[in-house]
Amino acid sequence: MNLKDAIRTIPDYPKPGIMFRDITTLLGNAGAFRKAVDELVQPFAGRKIDKVAGIEARGFILGGAVAHQLSAGFIPLRKKGKLPHRTMAVEYALEYGVDVMEMHLDAVVAGERVMLVDDLIATGGTAIAAVELLRKGGAEVVAAAFAVDLPELGGAEKLKAIGVPVSTLVAFEGH
């Protein structure tokens, strides 16, 4: 089974010229979903990973499944105001403006080994903010894994440049 074939491409979404890589078709295909989770886990099986952090929202789906397979805890990284307990936050730049990502203050214990998971790595802005937030909480971010890489946008390379090993399952050229 080719995982790339299980991902739907939607032209001109959310704006003209963008080819949106929609993993909901992969998630809806039991075999593809299982294969994706297995392949996200495989490079890290047997390594000590205390927690998996998933970026809202598709990162929750993949990250929760990966955490289960690794017998690790799960940390939800959410948009501002979505978590019910005391939080810490990091602000990061978007194409047009800024956003804020939060996690609970007690989500990570200093020194815990954390793996970051999301559906897609593009420019890397959101993933770098997630790493910054996790490190601010005392985590050692030991890896980042994504189902889809858009290599022309350079996000995976930016994560590697800040010391985070990156694993991806499929790559799509273009935006």
If pLDDT is split at 50, 70 and 90, which confidence band does 175 have? low
Catalytic residue among 58, 78, 102, 112: 58
What CATH number is attached to the domain comprising 143? 3.40.50.2020
Is residue 58 annotated as part of the catalytic site, yes or no?
Answer: yes
Is residue 91 annotated as part of the catalytic site, yes or no?
Answer: no
Residue 14 lies in a domain: no
Q: How many domains does the chain have?
A: 1
8-17, 71-80, 142-151: range with lowest mean pLDDT: 8-17
CA distances (Å), origin 102, targets 62, 67, 95, 125: 19, 19, 19, 15
Residue 63 lies in a domain: yes
Residue 136 lies in a domain: yes
pLDDT at 96: 74
Catalytic residue among 86, 91, 95, 157: 95
Predicted confidence (pLDDT) per residue in 122-161, tens digit:
999 999 999 999 999 999 999 999 999 999 999 999 999 9
Domain residue limits at 106: 47-171
Residue 8 lies in a domain: no
Residue 11 lies in a domain: no
Residue 20 lies in a domain: no
Count Cβ atoms below 10 Å from residue 23 Cβ, excluding itself. 22
DSSP letters spanning 95-126:
TTEEEEEEEETTS--TT-EEEEEEEEESSSHH
23-27, 73-77, 135-139, 171-175: range with lowest mean pLDDT: 171-175
pLDDT at 50: 98
Residue 17 lies in a domain: no
pLDDT at 173: 87
19-28, 30-39, 86-95, 117-126: range with lowest mean pLDDT: 86-95
